[in-house]
Amino acid sequence: MKKTIILLLIIGVFYVLASDVLAKSLKIPEDAIRIRIIPNSNSAFDQDIKLKVKDKLKITMYDLLKDAKSSEEAEKIIKDNLELVDKDVKKILNEENYDKGYTINFGKNYFPEKEYKGVKYEAGYYESLLITLGEGEGDNWWCVLFPPLCLIEGEENTEVEYRSIVMEILDKYLS
């Protein structure tokens, strides 16, 4: 019985420490550059347009930033390619007969507070590429461009899920 209690305490401490490490690994670096796309509204059409713009820009931005070594270098690349970003957004909107307009801004832009996977991301102004579609009143999508935390390699629909076998085992036996 004593061994079981000690084992459970050790597992509990390990679980807490592992959870803390995981939470810290999800923190966004201070010099990160984000991307945010805000749709006109929450209508299915406007949300679909947002996703199409997101999918295109993820590919474009990956191609542009894949070799960037610093946030300063990434910032210069983005600034030098804002016309390409504009061209990509305009192409998607034209293909979709979207006539509500849009704006593109690169600089310090406001991000609301967000909680993701148990980690709270503070509201504030962050260096970012902001695309606002129409009135910009819908639920937004955002991610980190540099370091490339949301950019993809290879196919457009590639999804990566990171799992910890130790955490799965602990969850199984402690839940």
Written in H, E and C, the secondary structure of the chain is: CHHHHHHHHHHHHHHHHHHHHHHHHCCCCCCCEEEEEECCCCCHHHHHHHHHHHHHHHHHHHHHHCCCCCHHHHHHHHHHCHHHHHHHHHHHHHHCCCCCCEEEEEEEEEECCEEECCEEECCEEEEEEEEEECCCCCCCEEEEEECCCCCCCCCCCCCCCCCCHHHHHHHHHHC
Q: What is the reported pLDDT for 20?
A: 46
pLDDT tens for the chain, 175 residues: list them. 666 666 555 665 555 444 444 444 457 888 899 999 999 999 999 999 999 999 999 999 999 999 999 999 999 999 999 999 999 999 999 999 999 999 999 999 999 888 877 888 899 999 999 999 999 999 999 989 898 877 654 334 444 444 555 556 656 656 6
Q: Where are the domains of the chain?
A: 2-23+165-174, 29-146
